[in-house]
Structure 1
Amino acid sequence: MKKIGILVGREQSFPESLISSINEKGGGKVVAEMIKVGGIRLDESKRYDIIVDRISHEVPYYRAMLKRMALEGTYIVNDPFWWSADDKFFNYSLAAKLGIAIPKTVLLPQHSYIKDITSESLRNLEFPIDWEGIVNYVGFPAFLKPHDGGGWKNVSKIYSLDQLWAEYNLTGTLCMVLQEAIEYDQFVRCYCVGQEKVLVMPYDPSKPYLSGMQYIDVEDYLSPQLHKRVENDVITICKSLGYDLNTVEFAIKDGVPYAIDFMNPAPDAELASVGEKNHKWIVNAMTEFIFRKLQSQPEPLPYRWAQTLDAFVAEPKKAGLKKAADKSEKRIRNTVSKKANKTGK
């Protein structure tokens, strides 16, 4: 029996629907369930074949626990090691090199620092910051937002240098980026599953969450050519970042899709938020992806320690095989010797 673990936060409908879908399709041979964990032992054994992680970015204990489970060969959606290392500014820079349209963006030094950081700790930091050079490059309006965050938290739309300073002074220890605001003609949010399956959803980010007005069910919202470009850009981004479940958002201006947000490894999939049509799509797509992974015997991701561990495990096996071979050879020699003695040869 194969086991799938679902690690969740406050969301309700998506994990419940995914578990139900997997169990129905699995027919007892594949079982999905909510993960229950407490103290994790150093010698913890493998519990799950695949884990779908929806909350470890908010709970450090969960992130550490998932890394430990990955060590036993559990396939984690999404990879906790890369997710820990990733950030939005790196994503923007990588995507730009891959030919994806990205708004002009600048990474800003933090406004404040933890207690033990002093002026001597920051001797490599330019001071004062060249604010005029930054705003001349990015322009207004612009968005000030965390370099690693989501859910539109701590995001401000900026129209002037004075407003930028005022908002920046409130950011504390958050590391921020200033990004050109694309005054879009169209906006889409795209699910991507398995780095290959894409759902392009017309989306209005100006509407409140759970208002029922964010996701717009419009046929042929994009031209076929633009739709294809968006799909290709989504797949390029997700393959490059290695995310098996992600959303990518595009602000489209004058026919150009600018990717503005694509570090969403635990994207919103709640029925009340995304609507029935989109909810069903993501549940079905994830179910199909999980079963494809199980059929192909999911290999652990190529972590640096894998070769060392494989070699470490292989050595005792080789020694054991050699010992067994030596014993077998000794038995054969003894048998031959006894037969020779009996026949006088």
Structure 2
Amino acid sequence: MADIVRNIGLSLGADLCWPICYEQIMRGLDLNIPSGADTLRFDVERVTIEPFDLTQGCKYDVVIDRLTHWFHMSREWIKKAVLMDGLYVLNNPWSVQSMEKHTAYCAMMHLGMPVPTTWLIPPKDYVTQNPDLEPTLTRYAKLFDIGRLGQRMDFPMFVKPYDGGGWRSVRKTDNEGDLRDAYENSGADVMHVQAGVYPYDAFVRSIGFGPQVRHVSYDPDKPLHDRYREQHYDTIGAADLETLRKITLTINTFFGWEFNSCESLRKDGVWHPMDFANACPDSQVTSLHRHFPWLIKAYIRWSVFCAATKRPMRMTLDWAPYYAIAASERSYTEKLDAYAKIADERLETARFEEFCATHLSHLDEVAHEFFGGPVARDAVHQKVASLFPAHEIEPFTELFWQRIQDWRQETE
């Protein structure tokens, strides 16, 4: 009988709060998981950025990746390690690299999801930054009048980069003048113009982590620290949440994303997913506050499960089963049920839940105790100090800390 160490790497960027909490709770868990005649133990290490030989080995079994969406060096190391060393990484790096929000919209529209009407429009000022394209655009770019979109879609509309950029890059337009101004100031970006879903009566952001999904009511008009509401709208019931779970896991497994978020608006009883290519979602206590402990536990459950079971990496995307369902005569509800069944099979939901019940039953207790202690509060303070002006550090540290304590009180 021997101890076998499973190595979990954290590939980090500006993250401060969640890695501290992840590492400390993993130490508190002190996992010893039987594996045949042996015992599995777990080591957590932050991945460094350095030159690498393409033939060198990789010591990690699982890497939680927070860099490949924007940092090429880490992305290429991870892809190398997946291809040559059998590394399991969250999320599929080829999918993250190639699938913009535009691709996600197209795919989910094809699967029948009620995504709002969306147009792709050429960049306004591409030639200034890319002069070599001037001959092509002069010959073939067709002049168009963006104001005419107002005749095809009702206002408000949203103008946003086709490949993402978050709410800081999204502009709500309420009339033709707003629409023209938004386009005139869009620079060299290829843009979407998307119909608004109005009037909606609920806005939910669903965070999917492996088979785990957390639904949080969302208010985009609030400042960042208050956008995630502490409680749901009163009108959201279990059936709505189950529909959102199926939508989220369908999107995630279609694109090979195990950690992704989906924003949906409800209008006339129908949930419209309208922003769901976020394969490196917000993990910061400064926005998640009372929902932050759930996220840390989700990180731990899924990464430990993948490392312990040596879950094989799905390097390629198999869309045929989804497209076969989409082509069938089933209703949208029936199709969504079938998509979700594929998702649960690909994510090994039943096996995962059994694993957690058997080997991680003490996680809730360990996390509950940790989030009442000084290390957790210091993690909150460090993140606040990195973002807020000096005179706001202590007030906002206390705000987020108190919301976590409210969560602790409610989960006792």
The match for 1:295 is 308
> Which letter does structure 1 place at the counterpart of 2:304?
F
Q: CA deviation at 1:123?
A: 6.3
- Find the residue that maps to 2:50 and give its secondary structure: coil
Q: Is the Cα contact below 8 Å between 1:208 and 1:214 reproduced in 2? A: no
Tell me the distance in 2 between the aligned counterparts of 1:13 and 1:201. 20
Unaligned runs of 5+ residues in structure 1 are 305-345
How many residues align? The count is 301
- Where in structure 2 are the equivalents of 1:39-78 lying within 5 Å? 39-71=51-83, 72-78=85-91
- 1:221–1:63 Cα change, 3 Å: farther
Tell me the equivalent position of 1:111. 124
Instruction: State the partner residue of 2:263.
Output: 249
* Paired position in structure 1 for 2:209: 193
Structure 1 stretch displaced more, 128-137 or 7-16 = 128-137
Q: Contact 1:202–1:221 (CA<8 Å) still a contact in 2?
A: no
- The 5 Å alignment of 1:150-161 reads 150-161=165-176
Q: Secondary structure at the match of 2:213?
A: strand
Query: Contact 1:78–1:245 (CA<8 Å) still a contact in 2?
Result: yes
Offset of residue 53 of structure 1: 1.2
Query: 1:220 deviation in Å?
Result: 5.2
State the one-letter code of the partner of 2:266: I
The structure-2 alpha-carbon separation of the partners of 1:303 and 1:97, relative to structure 1 and needing over 3 Å to count, comes to: closer
Match for 1:19 among 12, 18, 23?
Answer: 23
Q: Does 1:266 align with 2:280?
A: yes
Counterpart of 1:307 in structure 2 is none
Query: How far apart in 2 are the matches of 1:128 and 1:269?
Result: 42
Give distance in 2, aligned partners of 1:219 and 1:161. 33
Contact 1:104 1:137 in 2 (8 A): no
1:116-155 aligned within 5 A: 116-122=131-137, 125-155=140-170
1:137-179 deviations in Å (ceiling 9; x for gaps): 3331100001112331311111223322222122222111000
| Contact residue 217 and residue 229 of structure 2 kept, 8 A | yes
Residue in 2 that maps onto 1:36: 48
Question: Counterparts of 1:149 and 1:294 in 2: how far apart (Å)?
Answer: 31
Give how far 1:77 is off. Answer: 0.7
For 1:65-118, what per-residue CA distance to the aligned partner results, in whole angstroms no more than 9, with x for missing partners? 222222222111111111000011111111122222211101111122233433
Deviation for aligned residue 1:213: 5.0
Q: TM-score, normalised by structure 2?
A: 0.68
Amino acid at match of 1:67: K
| Displacement of 1:16 | 1.6
User: Offset of 1:40 from its aligned partner?
Assistant: 2.1
Bigger radius of gyration: 1
CA distance in 2, matches of 1:275, 1:148: 28
Pairing partner for 1:97 from 72, 85, 110: 110
How big is each residue's C-alpha offset from its partner over 1:262-318, in whole Å with a ceiling of 9 and x where there is no partner? 111111121221123x111111122111122123212233359xxxxxxxxxxxxxx
Alignment root-mean-square deviation, CA: 2.2
Q: Secondary structure at the match of 1:96?
A: helix
The alpha carbon displacement at 1:241 in A equals 1.7
Is contact 1:187-1:202 (8 Å) kept?
yes
Q: Offset of 1:219 from its aligned partner?
A: 7.3
Give CA deviations for 1:162-197 in whole Å, capped at 9, x if unaligned: 322222122222111000111221111111111x22
Q: Would the alpha carbon gap of residues 154 and 78 (structure 1) be closer, same or farther in structure 2, given more than 3 Å must change? A: same
| Preserved contact between residue 4 and residue 48 of structure 1 (Cα < 8 Å) | yes
Verify the 8 A CA contact 1:101 1:258 in the aligned structure 2: yes
Contact 2:263/2:274, CA 8 A, preserved across alignment: yes
For structure 2, the residue ranges without an aligned partner over 5 or more in a row are 33-40, 318-412
- CA spacing shift, 1:127–1:213, aligned 2, 3 Å: closer
Identity %: 25
Report which stretch shifted further, 161-170 or 295-304.
Answer: 295-304
Letter matched to residue 216 of structure 2: M
Q: CA deviation at 1:132?
A: 4.8
Give, in whole Å, the separation in 1 of the partners of 2:208 and 2:276.
Answer: 10
